Every structure is written in C-alpha cells, then in structure tokens.
C-alpha cells in the first residue's frame, strides 16, 4: 500500500462516518453548527494523531496482554490534553462541545485505528493514517453540519443567509434532523460510490472492513 493510499483512504474509501459508520454519537450530537463540527473534527484529529504516533512508537514495547489498557491510558490522556488546551485557548468551542469533548476518549475511530493500524505499522505511516482518518471524520462532520445549519438555522459559519434565515426548518437542528440528514447523505454516498458493483460480488476486495477482519 502506497503512502498516498494510506493518506486518502480514510477520507474516501474507508470514511469513518459514511463507510464504516463509526463515531456516530459525536456525529449526531455536535453537528448543529459548522463551527462546532470543525472544532470537534480538529480535536478528534489531534487525539487520533497523538495516540497513533505514540502507539506506533511503543508497539514493540507494549506487551500483547496489556495492550488494550495501554491504549486506553494513552488515548484518555491525549483527550484530557486536548480538553485542557481547548479550555484555555478556545473557551467558546469548549462550551459548545460540552460533554462530547471528554467523550473523545471513548470514540471508537481512535481505538480502531490504534488496534488495526498503529500497532502494526511505523510512525510515518501511522501519522498519514491518522491525518487521513481525521480529515475524513472532519469533512463528514462538516458536510452534515453545513446542511443542518443552513436549513435549520439559516446561516453558515454564523453568517446569515438571506431568505433562509426567516424560513428555517427547526427540525434540522434537533436530534431527528441529525438522523434524517445522516441517512440521506449515506444514501447519496452509497449511490455514487459504485456500491452496486460491490453488492454484486461480495468478497474481501470490495469490503471496507477487510483490513479489520484480518482474513486477507
């Protein structure tokens, strides 16, 4: 697998939200405003990058039997680190992310990348992997948040859009709106990602989870 491949597959082919359906709790919770989505995406990317780097460096030192507790300690620490930095330097984002900022520690994307990729690959590849998946997660959040903010609030990044401001559909900013937008986007992504081809010949080559299940 080339370096470019490692970087881009998290964005498109194995997008954590649209393809693997991981980390849906923050996806639904913080995507009411585009600004929050960027903040959450960057915070998650930071934690993912930190944990991937450290775990790939320590992969030969950490004994197999205690690897899960080790990952938990490392990921939780990077989360606390991100929380302290955001609270000190970006208080409005800290307030709007609320409980979902510390909950990054329980985000399964980060844990999955540690277990699937970082503990089997070198630091450079792990950095690329983290950047790719972080970017994929951030872009997915941004896409959902943009739709929800534009139609639900009549604004984008806080800038009001004429006409829509006075005719906003409240449901988009509420929890059901999150599910609806996510489902519609998933349908679109499935349609354009040549999913029909995948459904016709189901095997490991077309499966986005092939590298997780380890049969290949």
What is the contact surface with another protein in residues (CB under 8 A)?
58, 61-63, 65-66, 69-70, 73-74, 77, 80-81, 84-85, 87-89, 91, 98-99
Rounded to a whole number of angstroms, the minimum distance from the CB of residue 128 to another protein is 24
Find the shortest distance in angstroms from Cβ 33 to another protein: 18
Q: Are the C-beta atoms of residues 22 and 109 closer than 8 Å to each other?
A: yes
Nearer to another protein, 15 or 51 (CB): 51
Q: In Å, how far are 10, 27, 44, 113, 138 from 16, measured between CA atoms?
A: 7, 11, 12, 10, 10
Alpha carbons within 13 A on the beta-carbon side of 136: 27
Closer residue to another protein, CB minimum distance, 50 or 132: 50
In the bound complex, what is the minimum distance in angstroms from residue 174's beta carbon to another protein?
15
Q: Is 23 left (phi over 0), alpha (psi -120 to 50) or beta?
A: left
- Considering the complex, state which of residue 78 and residue 151 has its C-beta at the smaller distance from another protein: 78
Query: Is 156 in a helix, a strand, or coil?
Result: strand
- The residue among 38 and 57 lying less far from another protein, judged by its C-beta, is 57
């Amino acid at each position: 697998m080339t370096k470019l491949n490692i970087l881009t597959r998290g964005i498109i082919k194995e997008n954590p939200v649209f393809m693997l359906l991981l980390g849906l709790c923050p996806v639904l919770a913080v995507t009411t405003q585009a600004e929050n989505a960027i903040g959450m995406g960057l915070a998650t990317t930071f934690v993912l990058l930190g944990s991937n780097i450290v775990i790939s460096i320590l992969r030969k030192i950490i004994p197999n039997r205690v690897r899960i507790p080790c990952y938990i300690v490392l990921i939780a620490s990077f989360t606390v680190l991100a929380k302290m930095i955001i609270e000190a330097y970006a208080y409005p984002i800290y307030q709007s992310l609320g409980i979902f900022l510390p909950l990054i520690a329980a985000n399964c994307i980060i844990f999955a990348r540690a277990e699937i990729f970082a503990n089997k690959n070198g630091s450079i590849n792990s950095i690329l992997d983290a950047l790719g998946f972080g970017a994929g997660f951030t872009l997915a959040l941004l896409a959902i948040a943009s739709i929800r903010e534009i139609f639900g609030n009549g604004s984008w990044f806080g800038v009001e859009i004429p006409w829509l401001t006075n005719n906003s559909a409240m449901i988009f900013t509420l929890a059901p709106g999150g599910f609806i937008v996510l489902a519609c986007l998933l349908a679109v992504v499935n349609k354009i990602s040549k999913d029909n081809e995948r459904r016709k010949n189901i095997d490991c080559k077309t499966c986005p989870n092939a590298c997780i299940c380890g049969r290949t």
